[in-house]
Structure 1
């Protein structure tokens, strides 16, 4: 049996011109083990393990990598780990949330947005970031309408430092507003939570991109016995035409391979 991969299943990231794998690799676990909502504890991988995980993801056809300043040392580690591979990855990072001394704080000002993107460029050792999302604290409409963060990201896009921008929010209203002038919304959508579905519907009808966070309910998916929760999750996600990619945050090579095999089977209808 040949190993299933996602190489021939890449799809458009809305109208950004970027093409992404239907699964993306989330990297919070490469840089942070405090204040994360996972059912089991974990150890942050060392550089050798992280490099193996990234190599495996690439071999499986994953080209989308999701990081953030709030993910501890994730960006700083990815810079050297991805050296020489920049053209092979679509890198998503964030602005707005900082994580220091075990606490999150938020700053959506235009000034901090510019500072944050410049810092991410340095950490990731790149001249541009493919997609920058606003890391919402939940006050989605206030952030979009009163802080200057979106205007700053639009300017950074004009300057070529960012290829696309969008919003990782927590409300339907925020997701819809974010897509009016932005390229992408990152939404929670899984077997347990489907309240943000109207954002997916809007994206599908307006040529915008959707990235799904907590696609596997952060490992908490609950189903009847005998049902594969990963397959059931992906059947839900990939049935919706608005979904470009689902971010999975595993650092377990077996889980990653299973996720890819399952996603490929669901998308191919086998």
Structure 2
């Protein structure tokens, strides 16, 4: 049996004009191993391992890659690793959260937002980023209404430095508000946690984009004997109109290939 891929299963990313694979590669583990919530410890891959992982990702038909300044060295590693391949990837990054010395801190000011995007452009060795999301600290509405981050992202989009913007938030109100004025919301949605479902419904009704984080509950899902938690998770996700792609942060090639094969089966069976 040939290896299942996602090459022919691309989906529109809302109304951005971008087309993305139904799975995206999350890259926390390429850059950061402190203060992360995974059930098992891991070692950050070296450059050769990371290069092989990215080649496999591309061969499996994944074109979406998710990074952030808060992911330690993720962005600065991806720049050289993706050299010469920029046109083959849809890159998502973030603003608002910095991670240093084992601590996160947040800054949603106009100056920091602009600095952060310019820095991401340099690190990623690109002159535009496809999608930049506000890395919320949980106070979604306060950030969107009381800070300058969103209007600054709108300006950066007008300047052509980013193609779209939105929020990686934690509340229904924030997700909906972000979609009213922006292009995308990244929501938590999995077998354990479905409180942001209304954001997905809003996006489906208004032609906006949804990316799902923690689709596999960061590896914490347990189901009845004989039920594949990965398949059950993806059936739940892709049963929702409005979901463009699920971001999965594995550095294990076997897990990645299994996730891709499962998504291909689910989408062809829907």
Q: Give the TM interval when normalised to the shorter protein.
A: over 0.9
Q: Which runs of 4+ in 1 moved over 2 A?
A: none
Residues 1:139 and 2:139 are matched in the alignment: yes
**TM-score normalised by L of structure 1:** 1.00
SS at match of 1:176: helix
Q: What is aligned with 2:254?
A: 254
The within-5 A match list for 1:45-56 is 45-56=45-56
User: Which consecutive residues of structure 1, in runs of 5 or more, have no partner in the other structure?
Assistant: none
Residue 2 of structure 1 deviates from its aligned partner by 1.3
Q: What are the Cα deviations for residues 62-101 of structure 1, in whole angstroms up to 9, with x where unaligned? A: 0000000000000000000000000000000000000000
Q: What are the Cα deviations for residues 2-53 of structure 1, in whole angstroms up to 9, with x where unaligned? A: 1110000000000000000000000000000000000000000000000000
Q: What is aligned with 1:126?
A: 126
SS at match of 1:111: helix
Between the two proteins, the alignment pairs up a number of residues equal to: 270
Residues 1:85 and 2:100 are matched in the alignment: no
> Partners in 1 of 2:125 and 2:158 — Cα distance?
20
The within-5 A match list for 1:16-31 is 16-31=16-31
SS at match of 1:69: coil
Residue 140 of structure 1 deviates from its aligned partner by 0.4
Q: What is aligned with 2:218?
A: 218
CA RMSD, 1 decimal: 0.6
> Partners in 1 of 2:11 and 2:228 — Cα distance?
25
Q: What is aligned with 1:200?
A: 200
> Partners in 2 of 1:184 and 1:207 — Cα distance?
10
Q: What is aligned with 1:103?
A: 103
SS at match of 1:94: strand
SS at match of 1:164: strand
> Partners in 1 of 2:74 and 2:221 — Cα distance?
26
SS at match of 1:30: helix
> Partners in 1 of 2:123 and 2:29 — Cα distance?
17
